[in-house]
């Protein structure tokens, strides 16, 4: 059993989606967390201190922390720092997330390509006026994000979750919830840290505004066409990681 747990925990930080230097930082930080050199609920040293200690750039440490947070190994508290949440005597709920853990970023995009066009189509047809207003509020919220990648990703999740709920299909919504979890575990946040510039955030905001207008006007064809084009752009972003 211990060997199985060790194998699962090793998956927490192993990925082909980050650079070699980031992976080195991940290995060192996770080893210290797993050995309880950084015990549960304790605060990690600052990014500056970690960068100096390991001998890497501060943005490299930040990207490694992105991955650790996405894997629920640490939790960031604005203004307070990063705190250890990993416990070696439990699998951190990984059994329920085993499929998400095994899903590559490309697999994730393939599933989105299957689900999202139909999800958007059903949402255009079935969303209530109240749900459309709630979606509009989420669009206003994401428009207020200019540089904070983590906040932007969180807003995206809320938008897609609201659209999934609007399909009136609980099974589809549940399936899409798993894609959101897989998105977190596919290191998309760390990937976007490198590629999601303020200019690109603005481009995404404009895209989501277009999507909302199509949904609000009950234009099925335009909404579905938009989401297909958006997924093509997401694929281009994924390919840029190389």
The three-class DSSP label of residue 186 is coil
Locus of tokens 């650079």: 19
Where among 40, 55, 84 does a domain terminate? 84
- Domain check: are 156 and 219 in the same one? yes
Return the residue matching tokens 């085993």: 98
Q: Where are the alpha helices (DSSP H) in 14-148?
A: 20-34, 47-54, 58-70, 98-102, 105-126, 129-143
Same domain, 105 and 196: yes
- Given a contact cutoff of 8 angstroms between Cβ atoms, the answer to whether 178 and 100 are in contact is yes
Domain count, the chain: 2
Q: Does residue 18 share a domain with residue 134?
A: no
Condensed to tens digits (0 to 9), the pLDDT of residues 143-190 reads 999 988 778 888 999 999 999 999 999 999 999 998 888 776 655 555
91 within a domain of the structure (yes/no): no
93 within some domain: no
Backbone phi, psi, residue 128, to 5°: -80, 160
Residue 8 predicted with pLDDT over 50: no
Interval 19-77: pLDDT, tens: 788 888 988 898 888 888 888 878 899 999 999 999 999 999 999 898 888 888 898 88
What does the alpha-carbon distance between residue 30 and residue 140 come to, in Å, rounded to a whole number? 37
Query: Is there a single domain that holds both residue 76 and residue 159?
Result: no
Is the Cα dihedral 190, 192, 181, 137 positive or negative?
positive
Domain with 116 in it:
98-239
């Amino acid at each position: 059993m211990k060997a199985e747990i060790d194998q699962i925990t090793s998956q927490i930080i192993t990925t082909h989606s980050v650079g070699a230097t980031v992976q080195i930082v991940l290995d060192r930080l996770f080893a210290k967390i797993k050995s309880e050199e950084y015990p549960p609920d304790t605060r990690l040293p600052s990014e500056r201190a970690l960068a100096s200690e390991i001998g890497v750039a501060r943005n490299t440490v930040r990207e490694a922390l992105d991955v650790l947070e996405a894997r629920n190994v640490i939790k960031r508290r604005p203004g307070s720092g990063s705190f250890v949440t990993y416990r070696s005597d439990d699998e951190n709920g990984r059994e329920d997330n085993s499929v998400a853990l095994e899903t590559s970023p490309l697999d994730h995009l393939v599933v989105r390509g299957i689900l999202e066009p139909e999800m958007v189509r059903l949402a255009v047809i079935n969303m209530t006026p109240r749900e459309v207003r709630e979606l509009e509020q989420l669009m206003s919220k994401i428009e207020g994000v200019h540089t904070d990648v983590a906040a932007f990703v969180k807003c995206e999740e809320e938008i897609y979750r609201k659209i999934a709920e609007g399909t009136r299909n609980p099974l589809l919504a549940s399936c899409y919830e798993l894609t959101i979890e897989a998105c977190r575990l596919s290191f998309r946040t760390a990937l976007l840290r490198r590629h999601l510039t303020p200019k690109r955030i603005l481009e995404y905001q404009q895209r989501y505004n277009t999507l909302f207008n199509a949904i609000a006007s009950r234009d099925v064809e335009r909404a579905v066409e938009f989401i297909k084009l958006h997924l093509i752009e997401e694929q281009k972003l994924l390919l840029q990681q190389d």
